[in-house]
Structure 1
Amino acid sequence: MNALHDDRPPRGRGAQSTRFLVLYALAAAGGAASYAPFLSILLPLQVNAQWGAEGIRVLSYCAFIGAVAASVSNIVVGWLSDLTGSRRGWIVGGLILSSVLLLSMRFAENMSTLLAMIVVWQIGLNMMLNPLMAMAGDHIPDEQKGMLGGMLALSPAVGALVGALVTIPGFADAGLRATLITAITTLLIVPLLAFGRPVAIPALVTPVAADTASGTLPPLITGHAVRRMWLSRLLIQIGEATMFAFLLMWFISLDHTLTESFTARLFTVVLFAAVPLAMAVGQWSDRAGKPFMPLVVLSGIAACGMLTIALSTTSTGGAIGYVIFGLSAGVFLALHSGQTLRILPRPQTRGRDLGLFNLTNTVPSLIMPWLTLALVPLFGFGTLFMILAGLCAIACVLLATIRGKATA
C-alpha cells in the first residue's frame, strides 16, 4: 500500500452530521477572522501611526515574538485540553481572552506594552484555535476528512473578506474596526459551541496504545508518515509565507506602475477561487478513498507555479504563475489540515500533536525573512523563487513516497 491508496479499515462508524460540519466550518472561519485582519492590516497601521520610521523594526519584533508565543502556547494548550478531556471550555476562554486583548491593543503606549499584549493575545488566540482544530479530530471520521479539508479553505477567504470589510474608507475608525472583528469572530464561533451536537463516534476518541509495533494502529499511522506530512506542509508554507510577504515588492520590481491594490485583488481572487476547488477535490478524495493523492498532485502543481514565477519577466506572467501557485498551495494547505487528523497516532494526545504540527504555520515566519535577505540582494528574486519551487517539489516527493508500513 502507498500514499495514493488507503485501504485500511475505517477508524470510526458512521458519518458526522452535515449540520455539525457546516457549523464547524463557520467556526474555523471565525478563527481566521480573529487574527488575519489584525496581523495584516490593523497592527501595521497602528505601528506605523505610533512609531513612524521605526515602524518596520517594531513590527518585526511583534512578528517574531508573536510567532514564538503562538508556537509555544499552541502546544501547551493542546496538551492541557488533552488532559482535561474538554475542548469547548478552552475555546470559550480563548475567545474571551483574545477578544479583550484585541480591543485593548490600540491603548498600548510603548513598544514593551505592545509586545506584552501581543504575547497574551497569542496565548488567548491559540487557547481557542488548537482545541477548535482538535474538536474536528474528535468528531469527524476519516471518511469525511476530505470534505472537512475542503470546507477549511473557507477560513483564509473569510479572513481576507473581513479585512476588506473593516477597512472600507470612512466605514470605521481603529476602535470600531477591532470591535467589528471581535463581533464577527464571536458570531461565527458561538453557534458551534451553542448548537453543535455532533453524532457520537466513540472510535475517534478511544485511547490507543503507544506501541505502533503492536498492530493496534492502522498502517498509515507511523512515525514515517507523520514526519513526512509535517515536513511537506512546512516546505509549502515557506513558499506561501514568502509570497504573502514579498509578492508586492516583486511585482513592483517588474512593473513600477503596479500598486498594492493589484496585489490585494490578486490575493482575494485566489483565496476565494480556492474554496469551491478545495471542496470538490476533498469530496472526490473521500469518494475515491485516496486521501493523499490530491496532496501529491497539488504540491507538484505548486512547484510548477513557483517555477513559472521564477522565470517570469513581466507582471502578466508573474500573475499567471502566482494564480497557479496560490490556488494549488491554498487547496493543498486546506486538505492537508483535514488529512493531518487522519495520521496523528493517538486520540488522547491529539491536541498536543496538533500543536507540534502548528509549528509548520509559525516556523516559516521565522525562516522566510532570513532566506530572502540572504538571496535577493545578491541573486535577485528569481533565484529565491527557484529555491522555493525546489522546496515544493521536495514536498511532492515526500508525500508520494509515504510507506504504509514503515517503522517509526
Structure 2
Amino acid sequence: MTTEIPVPSETETAPAVSTPSLEPSRVSRGWLLGFGTAWFGFWLLMMLPGQFMVMKLASVIDPAAKIGVGSIVIAEMASVIVVSVPIIGWLCDRSSPRFGRRRTWALGGFVAATVPFAFVGVQTSWQLAALLLAVVAIGQSAVLVSLSAMIADQVPIGQRGRASAAMGVPQVIALAVGMIVVTELVRDVGWSWAVIAAIALVSPLPFLLAYPEPAIAQRARPERRRSSGWLHGYRDFGWATLSRVLVNAGNLVGTTYLLYFLSDVLELENPESALTVLILVYLVASGLASWAGGLLTDRTRSRRTFVAVSAALQVLAALTLAFVPTSSASIVAGVLLGIGYGLFLAVDQALLTDVLPDEATRARDLGIVNSAQHLPIAALIGWLVLSVAGFTELYIVAAVIMALGGIVVYRIRSVR
C-alpha cells in the first residue's frame, strides 16, 4: 500500500523518508496514449537538432566552419541541460501550483522551448542561434524532469513498464517522422525549425489539458537521515544511475561514428544512403522492442534481468561491427542494437522509478540521472580511441562499457 520499497537487510530496517501514501490508481489507455504523444513532442525538440538540424543550419550560416560551429552549438545545449535539469527538478518538487506542479512545469517548458526554437532557422549569426538554443535547452530540461516524474507520481508499479514504453517508443517515431519532415517535406531551413516547433507545441496539449494531475498528498518534509537504511535507498538509486549512464554511453560510442565506419572501413560507395538504411532498421527494431519490453516487464515484475539482456544484445552488436566488418553484418548489428536499446528504453526507466528513494524529491533525483546521462562521455571516448587506434578497438571499448552497465544493475537489491 505504500510507495516505500523495503530494504533487503537482515539486520536493519529502513526508516521512512516521508509519510506513507497510497499507490496511484491504474492509468487508462488514453492516459498512456496522451503521455506518449507529449513525449513525441519533446523528442522532436531533443533529437532533431543533434541529429541533423543544427549541422544543416551551421552549413548555411558558415559553410567553411560548419563542423566547428555545429559541434560548439550541440555541446552548448548539452551543457545547459546538464546544469539546468537538477535545478529545475529541485524547483519542480517544491512548487505547488493549482494546475499541478508537473503539468505546470511541462507546459511552461514546452512554451519556453518551442518559441525560441521556431526562430532559430532564420538566424544569420551562429552566436544568436546558440543563444536561442540555450533557452530551448532550459525549456527541454523543464519538460524532461516534469514528464519523467509523472511516471513515479501517477503510475502504479504494475504499469510502469508500459508508461516507460510510452516514453521510449515516441523517441523512435519522432526521429523518423521528424527527419522526413525536415529533409523531404519542408526543405527550407527557416521554415523547418518553425514547423517542428509548432508540431512539438501542439503534441502535448491534449494530455496536459485533458488529464488533471492528482492533488499533491500532504507529506511531511523529508528529514535529513544518517542511517544506513536511508543510504541504502540512495545506493540502489546510484547503481541504477551508473547502469543507465554506462549503457547509454556505450550505445552512443557505437552509433555516433557509424557514418565514418561505413565510409572508411567498409568503403561503401554511398555511405549516407547506407546509414539511412541502418537507422531505419535500428528504429523499427527499437520501437517494437520498447513496446514489447514494457508489457513483459510489467507482467513479470522483472527489471534487472531485462536491463542485463538489453545490454548483452547491444554488446553483441558492437562486437559484430568490431570483428565482422561487412555490409550485411552491419544490418545484423543494427537489428541487435535496436532491439537491445528499445528494450532498455522501456525497462530502465521503470527500474529507476522503482528505486527512487524519496517520493518528495522525485523530479530532483530523476533530474540528476538525466543530467549525468548528457555528459559527453561518448565523444571523449571516441576521440581518445580513434586518435590512437581504429574502429575495431572503438567497438570493443563500446562493448565493454555496455557490458559493465549490464553487470552493475545486479548491485541493485530492492527490485528483481
Match of 1:384 in 2: 394
Match of 1:153 in 2: 168
Runs of 4+ in structure 1 displaced over 3 angstroms? 168-172, 197-203, 205-215
- Point out the more displaced range, 161-170 or 85-94: 161-170
- Equivalent pair of 1:156/1:271 in contact (CA under 8 Å): no
- Select the residue among 171, 175, 187 that pairs with 2:190: 175
- Following TM superposition, by how much is the alpha carbon of 1:92 offset from its aligned partner in structure 2, in angstroms? 1.8
- Following TM superposition, by how much is the alpha carbon of 1:242 offset from its aligned partner in structure 2, in angstroms? 2.2
1:375 maps to a residue whose letter is: V
- Following TM superposition, by how much is the alpha carbon of 1:106 offset from its aligned partner in structure 2, in angstroms? 2.4
Match of 2:314 in 1: 302
Distance in 2 between residues matched to 1:292 and 1:170, nearest whole Å: 42
Distance in 2 between residues matched to 1:83 and 1:199, nearest whole Å: 16
- Following TM superposition, by how much is the alpha carbon of 1:292 offset from its aligned partner in structure 2, in angstroms? 2.3
Match of 1:349 in 2: 361
Match of 1:6 in 2: none
- Select the residue among 393, 398, 405 that pairs with 2:408: 398
Match of 2:246 in 1: 235
- Following TM superposition, by how much is the alpha carbon of 1:331 offset from its aligned partner in structure 2, in angstroms? 2.0
Match of 1:292 in 2: 304
- Select the residue among 25, 44, 47 that pairs with 2:36: 25
- Following TM superposition, by how much is the alpha carbon of 1:172 offset from its aligned partner in structure 2, in angstroms? 4.2
Change (3 A) 1:200 1:309: farther
| TM-score, with structure 1 as normaliser | 0.88
Change (3 A) 1:327 1:368: same
- Equivalent pair of 1:11/1:141 in contact (CA under 8 Å): no
- Select the residue among 326, 332, 335 that pairs with 2:338: 326
- The residue correspondences of 1:159-308 to structure 2 (distance < 5 A) are 159-169=174-184, 171-197=186-212, 211=225, 213=227, 222-252=233-263, 253-308=265-320
- Equivalent pair of 1:103/1:179 in contact (CA under 8 Å): yes
- Following TM superposition, by how much is the alpha carbon of 1:67 offset from its aligned partner in structure 2, in angstroms? 0.9
- Equivalent pair of 2:236/2:411 in contact (CA under 8 Å): no
Match of 1:372 in 2: 382
- Equivalent pair of 1:20/1:197 in contact (CA under 8 Å): no
1:395 maps to a residue whose letter is: G
Unaligned runs of at least 5 residues, structure 2 = 1-5, 9-19
- Following TM superposition, by how much is the alpha carbon of 1:201 offset from its aligned partner in structure 2, in angstroms? 9.4
- Equivalent pair of 1:2/1:402 in contact (CA under 8 Å): no
Q: Provide the alpha-carbon RMSD of the alignment.
A: 2.8
Change (3 A) 1:14 1:193: closer
Change (3 A) 1:72 1:63: same
- Equivalent pair of 2:286/2:341 in contact (CA under 8 Å): no
Distance in 1 between residues matched to 2:363 and 2:305, nearest whole Å: 26
Distance in 2 between residues matched to 1:318 and 1:158, nearest whole Å: 22
Change (3 A) 1:146 1:246: same
1:167 match: secondary structure: helix
Change (3 A) 1:206 1:288: farther
- Equivalent pair of 2:284/2:338 in contact (CA under 8 Å): no
How many residues were matched structurally? Answer: 395
2:414 match: secondary structure: coil
- Equivalent pair of 1:149/1:339 in contact (CA under 8 Å): no
Match of 1:125 in 2: 140
Change (3 A) 1:2 1:53: farther
Change (3 A) 1:93 1:152: closer
- Following TM superposition, by how much is the alpha carbon of 1:114 offset from its aligned partner in structure 2, in angstroms? 2.4
Q: Deviations over 1:169-224 (max 9, x none)?
A: 46442232122212221232001111124677959x88665548486x7x9x7222
1:87 match: secondary structure: helix
Distance in 2 between residues matched to 1:362 and 1:256, nearest whole Å: 32
Unaligned runs of at least 5 residues, structure 1 = 4-8
1:194 match: secondary structure: helix
Distance in 2 between residues matched to 1:155 and 1:274, nearest whole Å: 11
- Following TM superposition, by how much is the alpha carbon of 1:110 offset from its aligned partner in structure 2, in angstroms? 2.5
Distance in 1 between residues matched to 2:360 and 2:339, nearest whole Å: 34
Higher relative contact order (CA 8 A, sep 6+): 1
Change (3 A) 1:134 1:146: same
Distance in 2 between residues matched to 1:23 and 1:309, nearest whole Å: 38
The sequence identity of aligned pairs, in percent, is: 24
Distance in 2 between residues matched to 1:287 and 1:208, nearest whole Å: 32
Q: Deviations over 1:90-145 (max 9, x none)?
A: 22221112111111112333333222222111112212222121122211111111
Tell whether 2:144 aligns with 1:134: no
Match of 1:77 in 2: 88
- Equivalent pair of 2:262/2:274 in contact (CA under 8 Å): no
- Equivalent pair of 1:299/1:396 in contact (CA under 8 Å): yes
- Equivalent pair of 1:308/1:321 in contact (CA under 8 Å): yes
2:49 maps to a residue whose letter is: F
